[in-house]
A and B are shown apart, each in its own frame.
With several copies, the nearest count.
Chain A
Amino acid sequence: MKFTLLINEGPYQHQASDTAYQFAKAALAKGHEIYRVFFYNDGVNNATRLAIPPQDDRNITENWAALAKEHELDMVVCIAAAQRRGMLDADEAGRQGKDADNIHPAFRISGLGQLVEGGIQADRLLTFGD
């Protein structure tokens, strides 16, 4: 079965991203497919490559990145939500005249249409939020 996951909260502040990650891991272990993971609202903050969590805590972004690498996950960050919150990739930073960017290479920036399309193509769309 194909799942699309929607994550609406940032890392650490809420458990939403942790739960979605554990769900994705379990689904993949059972042979299901993750069609897309879409990051919206503060969920876009999961895509930062600049986080330095304490040594004894989980690294949420790196967990996602490792899972994505192993299973070739499509992890999409909503461009509008990301711009509002200061999450940019190098292309965006260049276009917008910003002097830095912060998105981890495991994620790609795209439009909200990717969420709707994820809902159409997957058998189930699950939301993880506050």
Chain B
Amino acid sequence: MSENIKKFMFVNTKAPYGTVYALESLEVVLISAAFDQSVSLVFCDDGVFQIANNQNTEASGMKNFSPAYKALGDYDINKIYVETESLEERGLTLDNIMALTYEDEDDDWAEKSSIIPVTRAELADLMDEQDVVISS
């Protein structure tokens, strides 16, 4: 199937916990890593809250699935686009976002950030290039 590599983009637009979409979308992303496709993630609109630092679900009884985002690098998923306007509108900066990283096999396994800040306009261009876009 290597002749058939497609660009998959998972677009996360909703806050976590209030609905299940963030959690169950992450489960699809992790599975997709096994298919040797080109996979990228987008966090825009309220989706930026999915990768906020310091999530603590102790008092709410919800399952804290935020540590699982840190596994993305191990699955070779290292194109994680974060829309800068979405952060700004919500009073956030990149400092509020988890430090998601991967080890670059082409650069002596140096640890690098998977987070790629993009503007809304750049994101529109990126979406336009995809073969499969799965939003939630």
B-side interface residues, number (CB < 8 Å)? 26
Q: Which residues of the partner chain B approach A113 to less than 8 Å between Cβ atoms?
A: 31, 34-35
Q: Are B134 and A80 in contact (CB under 8 A)?
A: no
The listed residue with most B CB atoms (<10 A of its CB), out of A54, A58, A120, is A120
Contact A14/B19 with A58-B62, A113-B35 known, Cβ cut-off 8 Å: yes
Asked if A39 lies at the interface with its beta carbon under 8 angstroms from chain B, I say no
Q: Which residues of the partner chain A approach B28 to less than 8 Å between Cβ atoms?
A: 40, 112, 115-116
Nearest chain B residue, comparing its CB with the CB of A121: B4
Would you call the interface of chain A mostly helix, strand, loop, or mixed?
Answer: mixed
For chain B, residues 3 to 62, give those with C-beta under 8 angstroms from any C-beta of chain A. Answer: 4, 6, 8, 17-21, 24, 27-28, 31-32, 34-35, 37, 60-62
Asked if A105 lies at the interface with its beta carbon under 8 angstroms from chain B, I say no
Q: Are B63 and A125 in contact (CB under 8 A)?
A: no
- Which residue of A13, A120, A125 is within 8 Å of B134 (Cβ)? A125
Q: Which residues of the partner chain B approach A116 to less than 8 Å between Cβ atoms?
A: 8, 28, 31-32, 34-35, 37
- Which residue of B18, B31, B37, B132 is within 8 Å of A125 (Cβ)? B132
- Give 11 A-B pairs besides A116-B32, A120-B1, A127-B134 with Cβ atoms closer than 8 angstroms: A12-B20, A13-B19, A18-B60, A21-B61, A22-B61, A41-B20, A81-B24, A111-B31, A113-B31, A125-B134, A130-B19
B123-136 vs A, CB cutoff 8 Å, 1 = contact: the mask equals 00000000110111
Q: Are B136 and A129 in contact (CB under 8 A)?
A: yes
Asked if A56 lies at the interface with its beta carbon under 8 angstroms from chain B, I say yes
Q: Can you name 19 A-B residue pairings with CB atoms under 8 Å?
A: A13-B20, A14-B20, A21-B61, A22-B61, A41-B24, A58-B61, A58-B62, A111-B31, A115-B28, A116-B28, A116-B35, A117-B35, A119-B8, A119-B132, A119-B134, A120-B37, A127-B135, A129-B136, A130-B19
A13-41 vs B, CB cutoff 8 Å, 1 = contact: the mask equals 11100100110000000000000000011
The listed residue with most A CB atoms (<10 A of its CB), out of B17, B34, B134, is B134
